[in-house]
């Protein structure tokens, strides 16, 4: 699957727009991570545990977006974006979305 933030695909000519494809996940913080983060706030620096949590969430949302695109017959996804929204205190949604397209073969 070709995935790009651009609006064209250098590897082929777009012949059909299928529509929006998306993948999402909702992740919650863990109390143990919160304790570590509180200590890091005292001394400063990156909270690696949260970085890892968000990276895994982005990967899962991306994989689900690709699976959705495949299920509707897309050859590529253009205009890809990620967005995050707070669902509740301690839980956030990561959404990956773009436009599924078919390419000239």
Report the domain count for the chain.
1
CATH number at residue 57: 3.30.110.70
* pLDDT (tens place) for every residue of the chain, 105 residues total: 999 999 999 888 999 999 999 999 998 876 566 666 666 666 677 777 778 888 999 999 999 999 999 999 999 999 999 999 988 877 889 999 999 999 997
Structural domain that includes position 10: 2-103
- Output the pTM of the full model: 0.86
C-alpha distance from residue 93 to each of 12, 28, 60, 75, 84 (Å): 33, 9, 11, 26, 6
């Amino acid at each position: 699957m070709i995935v790009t933030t651009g609006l064209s695909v250098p590897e082929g000519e777009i012949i059909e727009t299928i529509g929006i494809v998306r993948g999402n996940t909702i992740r919650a913080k863990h109390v143990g991570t919160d304790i570590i983060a509180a200590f890091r706030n005292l001394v400063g620096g990156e909270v690696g545990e949260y970085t890892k949590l968000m990276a895994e969430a982005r990967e899962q949302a991306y994989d689900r977006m690709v699976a959705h695109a495949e299920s509707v017959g897309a050859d590529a996804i253009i205009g890809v974006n990620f967005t995050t929204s707070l669902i509740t205190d301690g839980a956030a949604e990561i959404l990956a979305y773009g436009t599924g397209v078919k390419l000239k073969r």
